Amino acid sequence: MPMIRVEKILEEPELYILRIDDDQIKYFEATWDIPEGITYNAYLMKTGDAVILFDAWKTDYTEQFLETLSKIVDPKDITHIIVHHTEPDHSGALPKVLEANGYKALVIGTSFAKRFMEGFYGEKIVENFHAITDGEELQIGGRTFRFITVPWLHWPDTMITYVVEDKLIFSCDAGGGYGIPETIDDSDEKVVEEYLPHVTKYIVTVIGHYHKYIVENIKKLKGLGIIEEAKMILPGHGLIWRKDPLRIFKHYEDVGAGKAKKGKILVIYDSMYGFVERRMKIVIDELKKHGYNPVVYRFTDKEAPAVSDILGEVPDSEGIVIGVSTYEAGIHPRIRYTLYEMLDKANYEKPILVVGAFGWAGVAGKEIEHLITRSKFDHVDTVESRGMPRTEDEERIKEAVRNLIARLS
């Protein structure tokens, strides 16, 4: 059962996190395998005569959200609802909150958010809506709330809120991650270390298609000087960052830019009957011989790793090797899907080597080469041959691995 956590984060202004740990979800966005689960974080602030709700929970947890919220405040007393992003994992419970509120609260968001909310939940929900302009400041309960648009983090509707006097950034998807951390904040280094790979996987699978906007938006926030001075980053998923608020945006920046970890080579392959596997053993041994660290994901008749996990390995890899079987005059289905998602979600300027095996005609390698040369990836070489690798095939594969290594910065 999902656990609910409510904690007071600050005394002045009085600020609470309302977090539900969704351990029931299997496939985020009905696609991405997340056995690690996810949290939905909403926040409630009481300041002066204002009671402000920042986002909510997923629709499935509407009842639990209202119950939890009602323990801190009577929903009728909420004066403002700030909607950073309308994806229903954050906005799903809002129609019932507004109903309980009697539609008295001023709903604040971007004009995109207004349009999306109306589309999702009907006209009534946006009757009392204030559409902000980028950088606009509103005085609420004696504090200054600055709203900054961060388009494509994760949708065009997305904005963050900066509470000027307290240097708080409410960032919704930006700064979030998959996983259900044991703590609510970054105070425990062990928890942070375990959590960050889930953040990378989240960034690539959820925001990866727009990853250049991660870098652009962080540059924008840095330009405004608010990242450096922030005392706390409060995302819509995962940990709150208050021990080291800079760390999460630095991590986002690195993933957005595809910053590589020295020596890491991602090796992905299918092997139906062992022919590709034999080739990949040659690849892996040659990589290790030159001091590289191959991180291997294989599709066989006994294992099928989650594509979401593979995608999460791409940003910090120095290079990639794809091993593939020709299957019905095309790419093996598992590799085809993995590659399709890689090109869409994790399209970085990294070198790729393709190694293939076939029965009667080599097609898969050439097809992959065709796709890669039209992406940002840097195609190094394609080595394809029939059946069991012979001595000359082995030499050719080793040479191709050395060419890949020569291409690494």
Cβ–Cβ < 8 Å for 381, 354? yes
236 vs 365, which CB is nearer to ligand FEO?
236
Tell me how far, at minimum, the Cβ of 58 lies from ligand FEO, in Å: 9
Question: DSSP string spanning 147-198?
Answer: EEE-TTSSSTT-EEEEETTTTEEEEETTT--SS--SSSBTT-HHHHHHHHHH
Phi, psi of 241 (to 5 degrees): -110, 105
Tell me how far, at minimum, the Cβ of 288 lies from ligand FEO, in Å: 39
87 vs 384, which CB is nearer to ligand FEO?
87
Cα distance between residue 381 and residue 388, in whole Å: 20
Amino acid at 4: I
Amino acid at 122: G
Which residue has its beta carbon closest to ligand FEO?
87
237 vs 350, which CB is nearer to ligand FEO?
237
Pick out residues in 146-165 that bind ligand FEO (CB under 6 A). Answer: 154
Amino acid at 323: G
Tell me how far, at minimum, the Cβ of 283 lies from ligand FEO, in Å: 37
Q: Per-residue contact track with ligand FEO, 77 to 116, x per CB under 6 A?
A: --------x-x-xx--------------------------
CA-closest candidate to residue 28, choices 268, 204, 212: 204
Is the omega angle on the peptide bond into residue 305 within 30 degrees of 0, that is, cis?
no
Pick out residues in 211-240 that bind ligand FEO (CB under 6 A). Answer: 236-237
114 vs 154, which CB is nearer to ligand FEO?
154
Pick out residues in 271-330 that bind ligand FEO (CB under 6 A). Answer: none
Tell me how far, at minimum, the Cβ of 200 lies from ligand FEO, in Å: 16
Under the criterion CB under 6 A, does residue 173 sit at the interface with ligand FEO?
A: yes
CA dihedral of residues 317, 321, 322, 323 (deg, nearest 10): -140
201 vs 334, which CB is nearer to ligand FEO?
201
4 vs 296, which CB is nearer to ligand FEO?
4
Cβ–Cβ < 8 Å for 234, 299? no
Tell me how far, at minimum, the Cβ of 87 lies from ligand FEO, in Å: 4
Cα distance between residue 223 and residue 220, in whole Å: 5
154 vs 298, which CB is nearer to ligand FEO?
154
Size of the site for ligand FEO (CB under 6 A): 8
279: enclosing H helix or E strand: helix 275-289
Residues of this chain that bind ligand FEO (CB under 6 A): 85, 87, 89-90, 154, 173, 236-237
